[in-house]
Chains A and B, each alone.
Chain A
């Protein structure tokens, strides 16, 4: 597998080796932080912490404040100050020490901001310079990263010639150029095909197993479930719930759900045996901890008009943030 020698290469191209995480230490500590844009309070009193080497996910509908929360960590968006809120990233406050934080972090933004006037390899060379990486070290590191993100053949290409998936992989490679201890990814796989998505997941898992702390936002519940040790669901700038993905599902939603697509097929009576949730359109969801209850119900419905399944993170998400559009 490509990239299987990441640890070795890390030693060879040592930029930040002296700072490998110690177990149990905190990478990110956020304490009742708020952020206002004119009238809008985009982030309200949010707190969370991420231990070193963990993967932490921020979930929430558009406008929940996820991106703003991330930008506050590395100085792109200054938090409301003076206010009691506090942010520490590896012990540094982004209001005072954004450079120290950025020096050991890799940022993968939501918008593609590659330098379209430069080729793939030039993008990486120039970016290495921003971190003060020596040219010879950068060359070696870039070869390795292009291979890691499976872009070696594209190294001389112009940015405009790359597909969306290649650009995304290049941005991730760029974020890894300084061998970061923290990788911040804002919707890393939005709009990508399943092959690229799975490739990126593999790479992120590899990085995590190498001790890189990962903070990501996503709209894909499967992505969150697969990658994250802990999740925080945000809504309208506030934290709604936080926990390990499996715990969130176990603690916040009934175990099974019956989705009914065509309510003309049969009556749905109100009952204390299940909880009814109406979705937009004609879809109705019935939640229960007892699969037998739901199975019994399906007998009255015409085949193809329903779907009985285990509940998942998306059900929790919808329950927490509501089924209405948030825009």
Chain B
């Protein structure tokens, strides 16, 4: 302090990190809730179509899966994809527009916000959206009595983790995308296959071994595994592995994304 005073340094107290993260989160929250009906209603409606179309229609031709009716198996599965997609959209198209078109990030980091606050706040908001989406789907499928275990109230937390994980991956993708149309490769090439091969609409155990092993590397597989365990109140050992995978994946891609976006945003 004395040294500083000698150099003519003034005393300044920037807001603490939690306050900065919250302010970034709050900016996104504010923008999102401006169109509450158009943004908030779809997650409640979508699972209805899914359950009716796939569950009732296809379900008649499917037998029991691990002792459960197909519609129950599917109901636990459909909580997962909206968490992935909402976070992926937010951190690809959303992030790209804020970064390149609206220049919102430049405005934000001119205030008392670091690049880390900006990107971690962004991930936390994507996680929050995913939490809300899985909550919405859980409400709907529970209303139909399709969720056997009360432990399922924890599903939105898995939704939050799923959101963080895909925010990290999506920001990483965004960090090197120069043309907004290139996100189509990410959605069609990576997210859509994940939707089909992560144990959401059918169990992975009957797949040929190479596919089954490949599926274990997909992040969504672990979200689906966790989500289904909570819905059925079963807790096999692999849950620890699922959790560890998600934590590690989020940390690695989050760090890479921040490192690369930092280079892109700071000149």
Q: A residues within 8 Å of B by Cβ?
A: 18-19, 25-26, 37, 68, 71, 74-78, 88, 90-92, 98-100, 102-104, 107, 109, 111-118, 122, 126-127, 129-132, 174-175, 178, 181
Taking A76-B109, A90-B9, A90-B12 as contacts, is the C-beta distance between A126 and B266 under 8 angstroms? no
If the complex has contacts A92-B9, A122-B30, A126-B27, are A114 and B107 also in contact, measured as CB distance less than 8 A? yes
Task: Give B252-267 as 1s and 0s: 1 = Cβ < 8 Å from A's Cβ atoms.
Answer: 0000000000000011
Interface status of B19 (Cβ within 8 A of chain A): yes
Given A91-B4, A117-B31, check contact A130 B14 (CB 8 Å): no
Assuming A19-B11, A90-B10, A99-B112, is B20 touching A130 (CB within 8 A)?
A: yes
Q: Establish whether residues A103 and B112, one from each chain, have CB atoms under 8 Å apart when the complex forms.
A: yes
A104 to nearest B CB, angstroms? 6
Chain A residues lying within 8 Å of B104, measured Cβ to Cβ, are 113, 115-117
Contacts of A117 in B (CB 8 A): 31, 34, 102, 104
Closest to A175 in B: B110
Task: Select from chain A the residue with minimum beta-carbon distance to B110.
Answer: A107
Instruction: Tell me, in angstroms, the Cα distance from A74 to B115 when the chains sit together.
Output: 12
Contacts of B15 in A (CB 8 A): 103, 130-132
**A113 lies within 8 A of B23 (CB):** no
Q: How far is the CA of A74 from the CA of B10 in the complex (A)?
A: 16
B230 interfacial contact with A, CB 8 Å: no
Q: Cβ of B229: which chain A residues have Cβ within 8 Å of it?
A: none
Which chain A positions have C-beta within 8 A of B110?
Answer: 74, 76, 102, 107, 109, 113, 175
Q: What is the CA–CA distance of A37 and B267 in the complex, to the nearest angstrom? A: 8
Instruction: Give the docked Cα–Cα distance between A114 and B109 (Å).
Output: 12
Least CB distance, B243 to chain A, in whole angstroms: 33
Task: For B14, list chain A residues within 8 Å (CB).
Answer: 99-100, 102-103, 132
**A132 in contact with B112 (CB, 8 Å):** yes
* CB-CB contacts below 8 Å: B1-29 with A: 4, 7-16, 19-20, 23-24, 26-27
Q: Which residue of B lies closest to A108 (CB)?
A: B110
* Nearest CB of B to A81, in Å: 13
Q: Which residues of A contact B109 (CB under 8 A)?
A: 76
B140 at the interface (CB under 8 A from A): no
Give the contacting residue for A111; candidates B7, B27, B106, B112; CB below 8 A: B106
> How far is B23's CA from A90's CA once the two chains are assembled, in angstroms?
25
A37, B263: Cα distance in complex, Å? 12
Identify which of B8, B9, B12, B103 contacts A103 (C-beta below 8 A).
B12
